[in-house]
Structure 1
């Protein structure tokens, strides 16, 4: 029999990485093996993708920015806008299409975690889709106080704006997105960012509930501004002394 020399690609479970070895065999007998550093190998990428699919999407490095982008796109898809499919099911089953191009030179889970998912997902959107995303499902909303507050799109049927109550003074109607088609669910917070009221009808809150909430807040947060007429008051994120 002749000595056969070949590259072998295997998964190291303990190290969570793909390893490539140059192996010499005589029949079924291994004569020698030598680790290879090269990771520019389609077999390496294929095996890494297989392991990633088994480990689920959570294995990837989902920064707040990446997760927010994913949720915003899913929100628009839910409402019938023409956007790429960013559902968990699609992303998990189609990594060979959207993630594989970025895996060249990577052979480990640690290496995959170093990828910028936000930029990768953003690159899947056309210019027109990016413009539509910013217009119809903005990442943040500027409220009456001047603060830019992040919108939570984790539930595509009901996005949430969690904002301090004082920062909404002077705002009569519930803010909307998707060109006025979807009202935000407001989580109105205390100065300590504790939820005081959840509403999708801000006008009704001011008219029917604010007085009771105001009494409680005046007792707990004496340094803050709690006007009798919230619609005529100045929105603020500050205490009375700093206004």
Structure 2
């Protein structure tokens, strides 16, 4: 009798791909980027394994009947990622201040808004929105925080599209194009590979932070005083002193 898997581990990308199919994966991508409760989903590894499930290695990795359509994924994933992020931005604009001002909340803390504001000031709204896509958890919270900071909807949408397409298509194509090579080692090397991808994704931020610190040290050594940075988010709030 064929074994039927009754439990799905939502933290295990391979279990998710094998259990929920293409529609389920697209729903998860939407939830991770649009609903704050979706931050725990393994979005990067999920997309890579979805790409593997669309490759010729699908049956070998996930079993018979797991084959997915790469065209559906390449079209559906960015649409869900973009739509989800726009929902997050809308929620931030509408209820963000109330949502993040709950003093006893362990999930929706005001400090997320303050940290995101610093993130926007350091890298600018465009770079912040695009780079956040490649950073787990940050890609979930940055969208409502951007809305809370009143980042204009049109500006957010443009860079949301850029980031959403880059993130989903890159991850899907990594899995699709290397599916045959990954098939025999996917269980052993998936986590290290994802750690490497996250490290590569975060590296531009690390470089920017190092540059910023060097500039401040140089200015301090010369006795200069840096002028306060202008708010990069047009129409955004200014921190009160």
Query: Do they fold alike, i.e. is TM over 0.5?
Result: no
TM-score, normalised via structure 1 length: 0.23
Higher relative contact order (CA closer than 8 Å, sequence separation 6+): 2
- Bigger helix fraction: 2
Q: Which has the larger radius of gyration?
A: 1
